Amino acid sequence: MVILKLAYRNLKGAGIRTWLNIFVLSIAFLAIVYLKGMYNGMQDQSIRISEDTDKGSGQYWCEIYDPYDPLSLPDAHDVIPAVFDPLREAGVMTPVMFYQGAIYPDNRMKNVMLRGADHTQTVMNMPTSKMNVEADGYLPVMLGQRMAKSINVEKGDVFTMQWRDGNGAYDARDAKVVHIMVTDNSTIDVGSVWMDLALLQDITRLENQATMMVVDKSYTGELPEANWSYHSLFDLTADIRNMVEMKSSGGSIFYGVLMALALLAVFDTQVLSIWRRRKEMGTLMALGMTRMTLIKLFTLEGSMYGIFAAILATLYGAPLLYLNNMKGLTMPMDIDNFGMVLPQTLYPEYSVALVVGTIVTVMITVTITSFIPVRKLARLKPTDALRGKMS
């Protein structure tokens, strides 16, 4: 308690030097919490969006389907097992079919993935009902906003669509864009042309076939056994977690550098402080302070930079982070075509564990940094210190 009081008095007395260190450390604090909060938010939101619009609580895949093998895609469809019928009828499971095709907007060819979904489904948060309209004899299709922008089409535009049916015969018809879907999930948007599943089955002559079955996110009942492989949401979102982890590791380098700069300031202050206060140390020892208490005092002075930095960071950082948390970080549309699900507006998530963990980490590193130059006081002779020498 005494050394706490003394350390506080010494820091207070050191004036501007103390405040500069505290300010630099507080920026490091804030940057770490902000970045980590951003990555946490990105991961959670991405998973939530995936769950909501695409993956549900999990998916059954037909035997051949392998999203990492494009060559398997032409054959990635199979007859929907009857075992799924009860859940389909209950509205907690819906089939989706992927089929390769090509479109010719403005007479340019573009390979696309034709995707069929039941227009009555409610499992995936997609406006599939918009596809169930009369399109003047054209095939009614729905595009995502990014896809529409990339091929420069709008609602009502018509383009030619080509595919090979289930028997391998080429077929082509004109398709009309009946709806432009706005979604945060770029994986169901970029390169995709959506249509009603029954229509896709019909034009490809693949009756009652699908690529996968998506299970509703709220479904917690028993899952049927089938010869289609089941993939849980956790498995399906492994890419997102890996991507965020990779980005987070990159971020670690940034805040590692930031922390190193802040710690360098603390280290430098400690070294300078020990050098300038040799005589004071001798006086303190003459007054009855032990070397161990002296080490504790100087280490504590360094550690207190961390404590004050946490307080300062809370004072000016909490309102900033709160504002950021409320408003989020809106990204330009083009940057979300990374091949991973990214929301248009990122909302950081600052958990208690994140803040406390950051404070503890910074405190430990500051304390170690403060202790390193102070160690040598263990050999300090009071007579040398009084003469302004270091033993």
Smallest separation (angstroms) from another protein to the CB of 382? 4
Please say which residue, 72 or 383, places its beta carbon nearer to another protein: 383
Question: Of 47-55, 137-145, 259-267, 290-298, which segment contacts another protein by CB under 8 A?
Answer: 290-298
Among 283, 314, 325, 361, binds another protein (CB under 8 A): 283
Q: Strands, E, within 82-204: which ranges? A: 93-104, 110-117, 139-144, 158-164, 170-181, 192-196
Taking the complex as a whole, the smallest distance from the CB of residue 356 to another protein amounts, in Å, to 32
Q: Which is nearer to another protein, 229 or 290 (CB)?
A: 290
The site that binds another protein (CB under 8 A) totals a number of residues, namely 24
306: which 2 tokens?
A: 């961390």
Question: How many Å apart are CA 113 and CA 68, to the nearest integer?
Answer: 14
Which of 200, 289, 304, 355 touches another protein (CB under 8 A)?
Answer: 289
Q: Please choose, from the candidates 197, 161, 196, 198, the residue with its C-alpha nearest in 3D space to the C-alpha of residue 176.
A: 161
Q: Counting contacts by CB under 8 A, is residue 13 touching another protein?
A: yes
- Choose, by CB under 8 A, the member of 232, 383, 389, 391 that binds another protein: 383
CA distances from 315 to 6, 302, 320 (A): 24, 20, 9
Member of 71, 287, 323, 353 binding another protein (CB under 8 A): 287
- Minimum Å gap between C-beta 285 and another protein is 7
Distance CA(348)–CA(157), nearest Å, equals 38
Binding to another protein by residue 102, rule CB under 8 A? Answer: no
Q: Is residue 12 a contact point for another protein (CB under 8 A)?
A: yes
Q: Is 9 an interacting residue with respect to another protein (CB under 8 A)?
A: yes
Q: Verify binding: residue 110, another protein, rule CB under 8 A.
A: no
CA 65 – CA 81 distance, rounded (Å): 15
Nearer to another protein, 14 or 372 (CB): 14
Convert 52-66 to b/e letters by CB count within 10 Å (16 or more is b).
bbbbbbbbbbbeebe
Select 81 or 388, whichever has its Cβ closest to another protein.
Answer: 388
Nearer residue to another protein within complex by CB, 260 or 386: 386
**Distance in angstroms (rounded) separating the CA atoms of residues 56 and 49:** 9
SS3 250: helix
Footprint of another protein on 291-320 (CB under 8 A): 291-292
CA distance 373 to 390: 12
Q: What are phi and psi of 259, to 5 degrees?
A: -65, -40
Residue 16 interacts with another protein (CB under 8 A): yes or no: no
Buried b (16+ CB within 10 A) or exposed e, 162-173: ebeeeeeeeeee
Q: Which residues bind another protein (CB under 8 A)?
A: 2, 5-6, 9-10, 12-14, 279-280, 282-283, 285-292, 381-383, 386
